[in-house]
Amino acid sequence: MRSHARRPEVATRLHPDWRSALVESYAELFDPVGSLSAAPGRPAVDDGWRDLLERACARILATVHLHGGLFRVTEISEKYGTLRIRWEGSLSPEAAARVEEAVDLAEARSATTCEVCGEAGVLRAGDWLATRCDAHAEQRPPVEVEGAVPDLRVERRLVDGRWLTLLLHYDRAGDRFVEADRPPRKGG
C-alpha cells in the first residue's frame, strides 16, 4: 500500500494551524471530509502536545500500512490533564496491539509533557488537572498521591507460549515502556 501522508512540514506551510496540518498529513487516519478544521478526530489540545501526536500518527500509519485494515481517529482530547486518543476500525489483533501501544505511548508522554510548550512537565492541581512545566504552572501545585508510584502500568504479554504479567514504566528519554522493578511483597 502506498502512503498518502504528506510531510508535516509541507502541510504546516499550507495550513498555519498545526492541527489542520496534522489532519492533512495523516488524512488516511482522519478521513477528513470538507473543512480540515472540522474533521472528526481533529486534535482539541494545546500546542505542547503537537510533537507527541505527530509521533503517534506516524507510528499508527506505519502499522496500518504494514498490516492493513481499517482505522479512523474519532477523538483527540485532554482529560484529567493527559491526552486521550479514541479510534475505531477493524485491525488484526497484532495491528490493534501495535496501535494501542502507539496510543499508550502518546498518552504516557502527555503525562510528562507540558501541554502549553512541550517541555517536561508534571500533573498539577487547580480548578482542573493539567500537565504543566514550572513556567506554565500558573501557581498550580504538583499532584501528589501518597504511596503512589508514577508512570506505572501492568501489561500481559504472551511470551514463548506463557502469559506473563509485566510491570512497566514510561521512559521519557527513550519514549518507550521499560520493565520496572517489582516492589517487595508484604510479609515476604
Q: Which of 159, 155, 45, 27 is nearest to 106 (CA)?
A: 45
Residue 160 confidence (pLDDT)? 81
Shared domain check, 169 and 118: no
1 within a domain of the structure (yes/no): no
Shared domain check, 118 and 159: no
Q: Which of 50, 15, 51 is nearest to 32 (CA)?
A: 15
Q: Which residues of the chain have pLDDT under 50?
A: 1-14
Residue 147 confidence (pLDDT)? 63
158 within a domain of the structure (yes/no): yes
Residue 4 confidence (pLDDT)? 42
Q: Which of 43, 87, 41 is nearest to 64 (CA)?
A: 87
Domain count, the chain: 2
Residue 114 region by backbone torsions, left for phi larger than 0, else alpha for psi between -120 and 50, else beta? beta
Residue 12 confidence (pLDDT)? 46
Residue 130 confidence (pLDDT)? 95
Q: How far apart are CA 97 and CA 101, in angstroms?
A: 6
Residue 169 confidence (pLDDT)? 85
3 within a domain of the structure (yes/no): no
